[in-house]
Amino acid sequence: MLLRRITKHVKDQNWFAVGIDFLIVVIGVFVGLQVSNWNERQSTNQLSAEFSERLIADLSEEAWNFQLMVEYYDDVLTHAYKALAVLEGEQEASDEALLISAYRATQYQEVYRRRATYDELTSTGTMSLIRDPKLRTTATRIYSVPIFTNLTSEGINSRYRVAFRMALPLGVQNALTEQCGDKIILIGDFESIVDMLDYDCKTELAPQVIADAASTLRSNQMLIALLRLRALNVQSDLSALLTSNTEVRAGFESFRDANP
């Protein structure tokens, strides 16, 4: 309709009308572009807010994972040294206490890294959607460092764990797992991860079974040597987790403090 009208005005040489029609076209295009740009900005702002919210939620869980690993392996190390002190004759403890500590020294924890949002942003080249530079930098630091790998790998491949599993009867090990093993803890529950492996328990095993199992531990010099190695490895890896990558740790602590 507008094009037909412009054509008629040109034929009639009505240049004023042509100018008016042209101005209408220009204004229409300008308004259309502004609306399109506004819609695009709104869409981008919405995506930015959604991705930022998702990334914060992911990093909050990662902060919980970090604290869980620290608390858990501190408990593992505590029991490794308790058992070692008894087996090396430096301290006295009941056979059951020895058995529990020796068992808990075998344990390891593996956490699920919550990094889907970060991986999506980096793979699509849209990290700029995270407009908070501190949030963006913190995420990059946290997800670029394999912070939990050493502790988990050492636990999975622990020769002490293998030796312990081979030395004791299956019934003893099952009782230890059921009565004194890992607890089920809800993700994000910071309070429950404190002493999560260092709690009072009873094996519910018969006294003679406990005595026989403790005797097996006391007489196995190779197992004692491997426990010593296990303790030193956990201590080294835990120390690295706490002292290395200070910027990463600071990032975790900021999210932990925001979710006490």
Torsion sign (Cα): 182, 183, 187, 193: negative
**What integer pLDDT is reported at residue 140 of this predicted model?**
86
- Amino acid in position 37: N
- At 105, which helix (H) or strand (E)? none
The answer to whether the pTM exceeds 0.85 is no
**Residue at 164 is within a domain:** yes
Contact 210, 98 (CB under 8 A): no
Question: Does residue 126 sit within a domain?
Answer: yes
pLDDT value at position 110?
Answer: 87
Q: What angle do CA 112, 238, 76 make, to 5 degrees?
A: 80
Distance CA 5, CA 229 (A): 91
CA distance 30 to 259: 47
Count the Cβ atoms, other than its own, within 10 Å of residue 217.
22
* 90 vs 74: CA distance, rounded Å: 21
Residue 13 lies in a domain: no
DSSP notation for 157-188: T-HHHHHHHHHS-HHHHHHHHHHHSPPP--TT
Residue 10 is predicted with a pLDDT of 47
* Residue 7 lies inside a defined structural domain of this protein: no
User: What does the pLDDT profile of the chain (260 residues) look like in tens digits?
Assistant: 545 554 654 455 555 555 665 566 666 666 666 655 655 666 677 888 898 889 988 888 888 888 899 999 999 999 999 999 999 999 999 999 999 999 999 999 988 888 899 999 999 988 888 888 888 888 888 888 777 888 888 899 999 999 999 999 999 999 999 999 998 888 888 888 899 999 999 999 999 999 999 999 999 999 999 999 999 999 999 888 887 666 666 766 666 655 54
HEC string of 116-133? HHHHHHHHCCCHHHCCCH
For residues 66 and 107, what is the distance between their CA atoms, to the nearest angstrom?
17
Does 135 map to a domain?
Answer: yes
The whole-angstrom distance between residue 98's C-alpha and the CA centroid of its chain comes to 32
Domain assignment present for 227 = yes
Give the chain's domain count: 1
What is the structure's pLDDT at 260?
46
Give the C-alpha separation, 214 to 97, whole Å: 9
User: Given this model, what pLDDT does residue 60 score?
Assistant: 85
Residue 254 lies in a domain: yes
Quote the domain boundaries for residue 43: 19-258
Question: Does 136 reside within a domain?
Answer: yes
